[in-house]
C-alpha cells in the first residue's frame, strides 16, 4: 500500500522517493549503488535514493513524524521530522530527502529541537478541545509529541471554542475539523490508497483546510464509509460514529433482549487495545467479557459467514448454468462478492452499470440480523420488536450498511447497531472488565457453531477460499484436502493487491442433497476451468473493474472477491490504531491459525447451518425464503422476486 504513485490534485502528496526520478549530480553515486551517510556520528551505507528517515530507522535512530505513514506516499508537509544536513542553510524534511551522495545529518541539535517545538506549538494553537474528553486520549500522535517535547503551555494561544461544527451526518464517519493539523494523511488515504477522492486540501496558507466537494457533509458526497482515513489520522479529527450510549441503554432496559454477533477480525485485534501485540486472538475471552457487559446472548458471525458461502456459492452455480448451458443473454458474469459494504458503496458510486454483477447475497452481518429477528425470535418465543441486535465488526462501513433502508426484511431493522473493535474495547474498559484475564467461554446456541471457512472471511482472499472449499467439494465430489494441502487454497492468499487463479474441474460428482432442488447433474461443468480473482482496497478494485470494461483478463473470470479495505476486514476502519502492513499480517496469521484449529473447516459441513435449512429455510439455498431474508432484490437470474 505504501507504493501508490498517483499524485492527488492539490493534496501535497508525492510518490515514494524510491519511485521518483532522481537527478544525479556530477560525481555522486548512481542508482542501484550504496551511498555513505553519517547520522548523529554513526556511519552507514544505504541504497541510493533512501530517505534520511528510512536510513535513520535502519539504525534505530528515532526521528519524530506526523504526516508520514508507512501505508501512504510522501507529503513532507508537517515538517516535524526536520533534521540538519551539513552544508545546507535550512532544515530538511527527513521523510522527503533522498540520499544521493554522501551527507552528514544531525537529528537533535538545538536548532532542530526548537523548530519541532515551534511547529507543535503552532499546531496546538489551532487545535480545539480537551484531551481528557477525546476518544484518542493516550493514543494521539500530537499529544504524544507534545509530551515528548515538553509542551507545558499554549505558547501561541489556544482556541476557546470550536471554529466549525462537527460533521455528524454520516452513519459511519464523524469529522471534527477543529482537531485537524493539516497533515493530509486523510487526503492521501482517500485519493492515493483508496482512489475515492472525497477529501482534498483547499485554499492556501493560513486559510488551508481539508474539505469535501463544495464543503458538503459526508453523507452528501461519494464517501464509501470505509474509515481508512480514521485509521491514519494522527489526532481525533476523524472518528467513527459511536452508538455505545444507545447500546448501553438497550442493555440496561429490562424489556430488551440484546444479542451481539462478533466477527473474526475484531477477535484477532482487540487485544491491541489492551496492550497485547497484534495477532493475539482473544475469541473466547471476549465472549465472557461481552456476557459480563450485559449482552443476553453472544453469537458467532462465522455462522452466517458459512450461510453466506452456501447462498453465494449456489448463486454462482446458477449463474454459470444460465451462461454456459442455457445461454441466457441476461446471465451476468463475473459474479462479485457483496459482503464488504465499503466495496458495495464504491461500486454504486463509480460503476453503477456493474451492480448486476454483485451477488444478491447479503453480508454475514445482515443475514444474521434477519435470522435473529425471524427464526431465533420464533424459536425462543420473543417478540422481535423487543430484540436488539448488535454487530461487533472491524468496519465503520458496517454502521452505514445496517442503516440502509432496504435492510429490514425481517419486518424490523435487521441489525440495530454496529460497533467497531475500538468501541467494544472502550465498553469493556468502561465496565471495569479485565479482558486479558477473562475465563474462556463458548458462543451461545443455536448460532455458536461455525467453521474455519467462516473465520478466514476476515482476511483478503478468505471469502474466495471459503467459497472454493465448498464449491469444489459440492461439484467435484472429492475432499478439497485432496487438491490443496490441509484445505489451504494458497493461490488466493496473501497481500498482493490483486490475485488471479485458474482451477480446472477435471471430474464431477453427484449433486449433493442440499442442491437437488436446483440441479440434476454437473456434467456441464466437467473439464471446465474456474477462473477467479481477489482484490483488496478500492484502488485495486478500480484496476480490476477497468480491466473488465476493457475486455481484459478479468472479464473472463467467473467469480471475483472484492474487499473495500487494504488487507480485507483485518484492516477495517474500525480496527485498533495504529495500522500497518506488518500489523495486518499479524492479524491475518492469527485468523488462519484459528481456522486450522476448527474441527470443521468447510461451510457446507456446519451442522447448525444445515439444521437451519432443514427447519427454516426449507426450500433450500437461493429459495424463496432465503431470497426474502438473506438476499437483496436482485436475483442470480436478473429478476426481482418482490
Query: What residues act catalytically?
Result: 312, 315, 339, 359, 398, 401, 406, 569
Q: Are strands 257-262 and 498-504 parallel, antiparallel or unpaired?
A: unpaired
Quickly tell me which residue has 476476515 as its cell: 458
- The DSSP symbol for 79 reads -
Q: Strand runs (DSSP E) across 305-374, as ranges?
A: 335-336
Q: How far apart (Å, rounded) are the C-alpha atoms in residues 138 and 201?
A: 27
Q: What is the 3-class SS of 490-503, one letter each residue?
A: HHHCCCCCEEEEEE
Q: Which residues contact 594 (CB under 8 A, 6 or more apart)?
A: 264, 268, 281, 283, 452, 455
| 378 in Cβ contact with 353 (< 8 Å) | no
Nearest CA among 341, 332, 394 for reference residue 639: 332
Residues 6+ apart with CB under 8 A from 296: 257, 258, 259
Q: Which residues pair with 45 in a beta bridge?
A: 36
End-to-end CA distance of the chain: 42
Residue that has been written with the C-alpha cell 481477489 in this structure: 534
Q: Which three cell numbers stand for residue 268?
A: 484477532
Neighbours of 426 (CB within 10 A): 16
Q: Which residue has the cell 500522535?
A: 141
What letter does residue 634 receive in the DSSP assignment?
Answer: B
CA distance 576 to 231: 8
Please answer whether residues 470 and 307 qualify as being in contact, where contact means their C-beta atoms are separated by less than 8 angstroms. no
What are the backbone dihedrals phi and psi of residue 464, each rounded to the nearest 5 degrees, phi first?
-65, -45
C-alpha cell at 210: 481539508
Q: Which residue has the cell 417478540?
A: 383
Q: Do residues 422 and 230 make contact, with C-beta atoms less than 8 angstroms apart? A: no
Q: What dihedral angle (degrees, nearest 10) is formed by the CA atoms of 233, 234, 235, 237?
A: -20
- Identify the three-state secondary structure at position 168: coil
Amino acid at each position: 500500500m505504501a507504493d501508490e504513485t498517483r499524485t492527488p490534485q492539490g493534496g501535497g502528496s508525492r510518490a515514494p522517493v524510491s519511485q521518483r526520478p532522481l537527478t544525479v549530480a556530477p560525481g555522486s553515486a548512481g542508482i542501484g549503488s550504496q551511498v555513505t551517510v553519517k547520522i548523529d556520528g554513526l556511519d552507514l551505507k544505504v541504497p541510493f535514493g533512501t530517505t534520511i528517515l528510512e536510513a535513520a530507522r535502519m539504525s534505530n535512530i528515532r526521528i519524530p513524524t506526523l504526516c508520514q505513514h508507512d501505508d501512504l506516499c510522501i507529503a513532507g508537509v508537517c515538517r516535524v521530522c526536520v533534521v540538519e544536513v551539513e552544508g545546507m542553510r535550512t532544515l530538511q524534511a527527513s521523510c522527503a530527502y533522498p540520499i544521493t551522495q554522501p551527507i552528514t545529518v544531525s537529528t537533535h541539535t538545538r536548532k532542530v529541537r526548537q523548530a519541532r517545538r515551534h511547529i507543535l506549538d503552532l499546531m496546538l494553537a489551532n487545535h480545539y478541545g480537551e484531551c481528557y474528553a477525546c476518544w484518542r486520549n493516550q493514543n494521539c500522535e500530537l499529544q504524544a509529541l507534545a509530551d515528548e517535547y515538553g509542551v507545558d503551555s499554549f505558547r501561541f494561544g489556544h482556541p476557546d471554542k470550536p471554529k466549525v461544527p462537527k460533521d455528524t451526518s454520516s452513519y459511519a464517519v464523524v469529522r471534527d475539523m477543529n482537531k485537524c493539523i493539516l497533515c493530509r494523511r486523510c487526503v492521501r488515504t482517500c485519493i492515493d490508497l483508496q482512489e475515492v477522492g472525497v477529501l482534498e486540501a483547499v485554499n492556501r496558507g493560513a486559510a488551508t483546510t481539508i474539505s469535501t466537494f463544495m464543503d458538503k457533509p459526508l453523507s452528501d458526497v461519494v464517501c464509501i464509509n470505509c474509515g481508512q482515513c480514521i485509521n491514519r489520522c494522527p489526532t481525533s479529527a476523524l472518528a467513527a460514529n459511536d452508538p455505545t450510549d444507545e447500546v448501553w441503554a438497550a442493555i440496561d432496559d429490562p424489556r430488551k433482549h440484546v444479542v451481539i454477533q462478533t466477527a473474526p477480525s475484531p477477535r484477532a485485534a482487540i487485544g491491541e487495545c489492551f496492550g497485547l501485540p497484534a495477532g493475539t486472538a482473544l475469541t473466547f475471552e471476549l465472549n465472557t467479557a461481552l456476557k459480563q457487559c450485559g449482552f443476553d446472548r453472544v453469537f458467532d458471525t462465522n455462522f452466517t459467514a458459512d450461510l453466506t458461502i452456501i447462498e453465494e456459492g449456489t448463486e454462482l452455480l446458477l449463474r454459470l448454468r444460465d451462461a454456459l448451458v442455457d445461454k441466457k443473454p441476461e446471465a451476468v458474469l463475473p459474479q462479485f462478492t457483496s459482503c464488504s459494504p465499503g466495496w458495495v458503496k464504491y461500486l454504486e458510486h463509480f460503476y453503477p452499470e456493474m451492480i448486476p454483477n454483485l451477488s444478491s447475497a447479503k453480508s454475514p452481518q445482515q443475514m444474521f440480523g434477519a435470522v435473529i429477528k425471524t427464526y431465533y425470535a420464533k424459536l425462543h418465543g420473543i417478540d422481535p420488536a423487543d430484540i436488539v441486535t448488535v454487530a461487533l465488526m472491524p468496519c465503520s462501513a458496517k454502521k452505514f450498511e445496517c442503516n440502509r433502508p432496504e435492510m429490514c426484511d425481517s419486518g424490523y431493522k435487521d441489525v440495530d447497531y454496529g460497533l467497531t473493535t475500538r468501541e467494544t474495547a472502550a465498553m469493556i474498559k468502561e465496565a471495569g472488565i479485565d479482558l486479558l484475564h477473562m475465563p474462556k467461554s463458548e458462543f451461545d446456541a443455536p448460532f455458536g457453531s461455525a467453521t474455519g471457512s467462516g473465520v478466514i472471511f476476515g482476511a483478503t482472499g478468505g471469502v474466495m477460499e471459503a467459497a472454493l472449499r465448498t464449491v469444489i467439494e459440492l461439484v467435484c465430489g472429492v475432499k478439497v484436502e485432496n487438491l490443496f494441502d490441509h484445505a489451504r487454497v494458497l493461490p488466493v492468499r496473501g497481500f498482493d493487491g490483486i490475485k488471479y487463479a485458474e482451477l480446472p474441474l477435471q471430474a464431477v460428482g453427484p449433486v449433493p442433497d442440499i442442491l437437488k432442488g436446483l440441479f440434476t447433474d454437473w456434467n456441464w461443468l466437467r473439464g471446465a476451468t474456474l477462473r477467479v480473482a481477489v482484490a483488496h482496497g478500492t484502488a485495486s478494485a478500480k484496476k480490476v473493474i477497468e480491466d473488465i470494461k476493457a475486455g481484459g483478463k478479468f472479464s473472463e473470470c467467473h467469480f471475483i472477491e472484492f474487499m473495500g479495505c487494504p488487507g480485507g476486514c483485518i484492516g477495517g476502519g474500525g480496527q485498533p490504531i495504529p495500522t500497518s502492513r506488518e500489523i495486518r499480517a499479524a492479524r491475518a496469521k492469527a485468523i488462519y491459525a484459528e481456522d486450522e484449529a476448527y474441527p470443521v473447516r468447510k461451510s457446507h459441513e456446519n451442522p447448525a447451518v444445515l439444521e437451519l435449512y432443514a427447519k427454516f429455510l426449507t426450500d433450500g439455498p437461493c429459495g424463496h425464503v432465503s431470497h426474502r431474508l438473506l438476499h437483496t432484490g436482485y436475483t442470480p437470474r436478473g429478476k426481482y422476486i418482490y
